[in-house]
Homo-oligomer: A and B are copies of this chain.
Amino acid sequence: MTKSENVLSGEAEKKIIEAATIVFVEKGRTGASMQDIADEAGINRTLLNYYFRSKDKLFTTVFDKVIMSLLLEAIEVLNSDKDILVKFDSFIDVYINGLLKNPHIPVFILNELTGRPDHMIRLFKSSGLRISNFHKEIQEAMDEGRIIHMETSQLIINFISMIIFPFAAKPIVSGMILSEQEVEFDEFMKDRIPSLKKYFLKSITP
């Protein structure tokens, strides 16, 4: 076993993907260079081409991985047998706490999404997430009178918006809205978990 061998096959590949994720998420597809990624991984630049044929292929690998991990979290909550109102709370917990650990993922995704809507839809379908079930559960709760009547799509967008947007707009939130009160972003988002649960529940309860 020479010094240049990796202990496990795929270890270098894994290291590259980790480094590429950090760099792509921070700088975006066009803003990141292969050199940036090689530096982050601490390897020679040409090795990136050895393991992944091109920058595009490496990017797609990273992008798919990031999207999938988010979708899987959604599926886990949706597929549970909890009541729809409990699921709302779970989404708030899971995504706010998760994004606090990777706050620029929303901007990364929103930005790279624009150019490849088709690819996104394919990923989405292959994930097995059934958004129609979500619509249906909400609709049932409306029919039972537990939630006010409104277009389910509008309700879903309202809900997702309030979870994701603060992360996407983190510089605005920090610099423009919180700065005068000297509140830290992370603290604000921690407070936001119970605040949003309460607010959203009130907003949809008859």
Residues of A whose CB lies within 8 Å of any CB of B are 27-31, 104, 107, 110-111, 113-114, 117, 120-121, 124, 131-132, 148, 150-151, 153-158, 160-162, 164-166, 168-181, 183, 188, 191-192, 195-196, 198-199, 202-203
Contacts and interface: CB of A to CB of B under 8 A. Distances in A.
Given A30-B30, A154-B195, A175 B111 contact: no
A107 B114 contact: yes
A128 to B, nearest CB: 13
Count the copies.
Answer: 2
Contacts of A158: 162, 196, 199
A168 B110 contact: yes
Contacts of A178: 153
Contacts of A27: 30
Contacts of A173: 157
A157 to B, nearest CB: 5
